[in-house]
Amino acid sequence: MQANDPNIQWVEEPQLGWTGRMYLTPIIDGLTITLNHFFKAAKGDTFTVQFPEERPKFGNPLIYRGVHRLNKDDEGRVKCVACFMCATACPAHCIDIVGTQSPWEDREKYPQSFVIDELRCIFCGMCEEACPVDAIELTSMFDLTGASREEMIFDKEKLLSVYDQTIAAEPMKSKGGHAAGKGA
Amino acid sequence: MAVITVDGRDVQIGDDEKLNCIQAADRAGVTIPFYCWHPGLSVVASCRMCLIETGQKNKDTGKVEMVPKLVPGCQTPVKDGTVIITNSPKVKANQQFVQEGILLDHPVDCPICDQAGECWLQDYYFNFGHKERQADIKPFTSDRKELGEHVTLFADRCVMCSRCVRFTREVSGEAELQVINRGSHAAIDIFPGFPIDNHLSGNVNDLCPVGALCSSDFLYQQRVWFMEPHDSVCVKCSTGCSVQLHENHDKLYRIQPRFNPNANEWWMCDKGRFENQYIDAPERIGGVKRRGRDQFENCDWPAAITEIQRCLQDLVTHQGGKTIAAVVSPFLTVEEAYLLCKYFKGLSPEATLVLGKIPVDGQDEVFAKGFTIRAEKCPNRRGVEEVLRHFQADFMTWDQFLAQADAKRWKGAYITGLYPETWNDEADANRIDNISLKIVQDFSPSPIARKATFVLPGVTFAEKGGCYVNHAGLIQATDWALKPFEAAHIDGQIFSDLAGRRGLYQPTAIMPEVAAEIPFFARSASGVPDGGLNLVTGSEKSPRTSQLGTVTHPIPTFRTVASDMLEVES
Ligand code: SF4
Ligand code: FES
């Protein structure tokens, strides 16, 4: 974009009056905000949450980008077809997949192993965008802790177990996509 | 000089050149898409993707007379005054509908298809297809069938170009593949009980423009865009096929032929392509070993190098130069052979040079169009021989070396192995047992290595660069693709360290030295071109021609491809 682009609106900084130059009005303005918050908090209207006793509320958990899960299809098999689109899209290179011929009649390829290094992940959600079968999704689970680095490397079983834990509260984001093995 | 007009632009082609419209258009920088044509196979003009408008310019009046219908560009030769139009609405509509017709039967299972990323159908659809596909998509299931040990067919992805069928009829000559059924039921298949098992079978996987024929060995190993290609030369026989090594994170995933009119054209054999497990075999020698009292001890490189230098020097001073010998393997590159010979002759002009064992297996196998799998199973017999001959006119053979060992002539021997297959047995090892200093440089353990005083881990062809000279005297340069295995060193580096040269071993810096010193290599003084250089005849045909049909993409997509790839030799 050029500096003389007609879409740019140039705004001049307003000149301060003499009260401003004496710091009087700015200080009063600032204190008003502080005091407003003070009285609001005294009435119990706070933003801060007493985590972990209290859990924060999300506006829409479906668009939160937390821990990944691997979705299952109607028969409880991993939905992933091992196309490597997520691994290709991932800017942090934290997804490692080993694809192989699937043991099922109606599916050609599936991930023999599917590993995400949650410590390396930057939770950008690119993998979710890239997936052609909506097999990988980010859940609203955000409080991820572990005692070691190894524990934070999630394998296929762990990612599928995140699905079991979260599916009740967070349904799959799209029913569409192509249910693997079902055709369009 | 014939002048052709392509989309209003004039290009000149040589009088003796026989080009079709696809090639002529490419000279003008215009891409005509095609599936069934391949410069190495007969023309069938069956896919109709290359249809274009063409006409003839009248020399005297300058008027152009157009052919009323579209004609296949692959089948239409050009001559002086030919006019080609590739961008008219009629041509574009044809391209779009040909694609749409193919897609009616195509599953569009790109996410699970190994060809995705180097698929002609994918690329052409983005460049020449409709904006949106009109047929349904049925992904994720496939009609898989093994056609042979190395070939897997996914029948539903086939575009019926018949390249594979023509290859087995015209080049490999066994005609295992055929089209069964007709019309929209047509499919590629084998006759029951007769799998595709010729020695060139892997080539049909490269030829297939889509993912219908996939390599069984490579199936689902990697997505193609993760791999990095490296130019190399196959070392499995003395034809010296130009190849590309595809590697990711230092693991070799596949080998594909690289077009070279001087050596292999578009093809390579299955042995060179698939039998490379030795490169990451778990039993490879990973570290320097020296013999302690009765077993091997680990040792580091600088210590080993100094000690070997000292031991050899001692032998020369106390026993005379006649008692030491260097066995130069035909798997070494020219530069490496040169460094080793030079080092030994530097120790003593009387030191003996021995040409390593030349592995020979059966007879040359010649195919219909001249492609040959040679019986001599090593890449550089010729190059090593020339180097040896320069330093010692009457160099010894391996058998003579063993005979002299029986006669207890040797006190010290430097034996280079580096053979992909087993090359010695207990009997050989026992014959050299009386040599007091045995330095063995190899990558796989063998009876001889087990008897050694020093074992130096060398590398395979994939881990080093350098030049090889094939049976016809064609010298070709390779590039390294993988880092050396564990603590192994590039063979040239070992020789260069032994010779007391400083710094990193660079084959391209050694080659001018070789060329200046050995007249046979004089022609390669200013480097070796892409397609190699025949040291005997001096001829070099550029491989930037008729490259299509193997690894290279028909049209530039995310990788840039030289546009002169379509040209054909006159
Ligand atoms: S299998 Fe491949 S090469 Fe053979 S006809 Fe089909 S698309 Fe062409
Ligand atoms: S019809 Fe010309 S390439 Fe197929």
pLDDT score recorded for residue B265: 85
Q: Which of residues 133-152 of A touch B (CB under 8 A)?
A: 133
- What is the distance between the alpha carbons of residues B92 and B11, in angstroms, rounded to a whole number? 22
Confidence of residue B142 (pLDDT cuts 50, 70, 90): confident
Q: Are strands B2-6 and B9-13 parallel, antiparallel or unpaired?
A: antiparallel
pLDDT score recorded for residue B128: 86
pLDDT tops 50 at residue A163: yes
Confidence of residue B570 (pLDDT cuts 50, 70, 90): very low
pLDDT score recorded for residue B538: 83
Mean pLDDT, chain A, integer? 88
Contact A109 B112 (CB under 8 A): yes
Name residue, tokens 């007379």.
Answer: B65
- Which residue minimizes the CA distance to atom 1 of ligand 2? B45
Beta carbons of B457 and B485 less than 8 angstroms apart: yes
Beta carbons of B245 and B252 less than 8 angstroms apart: yes
Helix or strand holding residue B233 (H, E): strand B228-233
Which listed ligand is nearest to B147 at the C-alpha? 1
Phi, psi for residue B392 in degrees, rounded to 5: -155, 105
- What is the distance between the alpha carbons of residues B6 and B21, in angstroms, rounded to a whole number? 9
Distance B44 CA to ligand 2 centre (A): 7
Contact B136 A183 (CB under 8 A): yes
- What is the distance between the alpha carbons of residues B372 and B263, in angstroms, rounded to a whole number? 10
Confidence of residue B27 (pLDDT cuts 50, 70, 90): confident
- What is the distance between the alpha carbons of residues B226 and B224, in angstroms, rounded to a whole number? 5
Name residue, tokens 């030349």.
Answer: B358
* C-alpha torsion sign, points A24, A25, A28, A33: negative
Distances from the Cα of B101 to the Cα of A96, B93, B366, angstroms: 37, 12, 39
Beta carbons of B462 and B234 less than 8 angstroms apart: no
pLDDT score recorded for residue B135: 66
pLDDT tops 60 at residue B556: no
Which of B36, B84, B98, B121 to probe ligand 2 with, by most ligand atoms within 8 A of CB? B36
Helix or strand holding residue B71 (H, E): strand B71-72
Beta carbons of B227 and B246 less than 8 angstroms apart: yes
Beta carbons of B200 and B270 less than 8 angstroms apart: yes
pLDDT score recorded for residue A165: 94
- What is the distance between the alpha carbons of residues B127 and B551, in angstroms, rounded to a whole number? 19
Tokens of residue B147, six digits: 């056609």
Select from B522, B524, B510, B471 the least CA-distant residue to B335.
B510
Phi, psi for residue B505 in degrees, rounded to 5: -75, 125
User: Mean pLDDT throughout B436-455?
Assistant: 95
What Rg value do the Cα atoms of chain B yield, rounded? Answer: 27
pLDDT score recorded for residue B145: 92
Beta carbons of B443 and B488 less than 8 angstroms apart: yes
- What is the distance between the alpha carbons of residues A89 and B514, in angstroms, rounded to a whole number? 48
Select from B160, B146, B149, B138 the least CA-distant residue to B210.
B160
- What is the distance between the alpha carbons of residues B432 and B407, in angstroms, rounded to a whole number? 10
pLDDT tops 60 at residue B563: no
All structural domains of chain B, each given as residue ranges with its CATH number in brackets, are 2-87 (3.10.20.740), 96-215 (3.30.70.20), 289-534 (3.40.50.740)
Q: Tell me the pLDDT tens digit for each residue of A20-68.
A: 888 988 899 999 999 999 999 899 888 888 888 988 887 788 889 999 9
Beta carbons of B141 and A181 less than 8 angstroms apart: yes
Helix or strand holding residue A29 (H, E): helix A24-42
| CB-ligand 1 contact for B188 (6 Å cutoff) | yes
Distance B481 CA to ligand 2 centre (A): 36
- The interface pTM score, or ipTM, of the predicted complex is 0.81
Residues on chain A touching B111 (C-beta within 8 angstroms): 81, 83, 85, 132-133
Instruction: Give residue ranges of B with CB < 8 Å to any A CB.
Output: 109-112, 136-142, 144, 219-220, 223, 225-226
Q: Classify residue B183 as left (phi > 0), alpha (psi -120 to 50) or beta.
A: left
CATH code of the domain occupying A61-166 = 3.30.70.3270
Which residue does chain B place closest to A108, by CA atoms? B141
- What is the distance between the alpha carbons of residues A79 and B125, in angstroms, rounded to a whole number? 28
Which residue ranges make up each domain of chain A?
A: 15-48, 61-166
DSSP character string of B271-329: HHHH--GGGG-TTS--S-EEE-SSSEEE--HHHHHHHHHHHHHHHHHHH-GGGEEEEE-
Q: Are strands B474-478 and B454-457 parallel, antiparallel or unpaired?
A: unpaired
Higher pLDDT, B168 or B557: B168
Select from B201, B205, B254, B264 the least CA-distant residue to B230.
B254
Tokens of residue B287, six digits: 């570290």
- Other beta carbons within 10 angstroms of residue B412's beta carbon come to 23
Higher pLDDT, B331 or B39: B331
Beta carbons of B339 and B495 less than 8 angstroms apart: yes
Q: Tell me the pLDDT tens digit for each residue of A109-160.
A: 999 999 999 999 999 999 999 998 899 999 999 888 899 999 999 999 999 9
Classified as helix, coil or strand, A177 is coil
pLDDT score recorded for residue A37: 92
Q: Tell me the pLDDT tens digit for each residue of B77-114.
A: 999 999 999 999 999 999 999 999 888 888 888 889 99
Tokens of residue B142, six digits: 């496939």
The alpha carbon of residue A14 and the mean position of all alpha carbons in its chain are separated, in whole angstroms, by: 40
| CB-ligand 1 contact for B161 (6 Å cutoff) | yes
Beta carbons of B481 and B252 less than 8 angstroms apart: yes
- Closest-CA distance of chain A to residue B203, Å: 23
Q: Tell me the pLDDT tens digit for each residue of A71-98.
A: 999 899 999 999 999 999 999 999 999 9
Q: Does A178 touch chain B (CB under 8 A)?
A: yes
Helix or strand holding residue A156 (H, E): helix A156-166
Q: B256 pairs with which residues across the strands?
A: B244
pLDDT score recorded for residue A2: 80
- Closest-CA distance of chain B to residue A131, Å: 9
A with B: how many residue pairs have Cβ under 8 Å apart? 51
Phi, psi for residue B25 in degrees, rounded to 5: -65, -40
- Beta carbons within 8 Å of A57's beta carbon, 6+ residues apart: none
Q: Tell me the pLDDT tens digit for each residue of B456-478.
A: 999 999 999 999 999 999 999 99
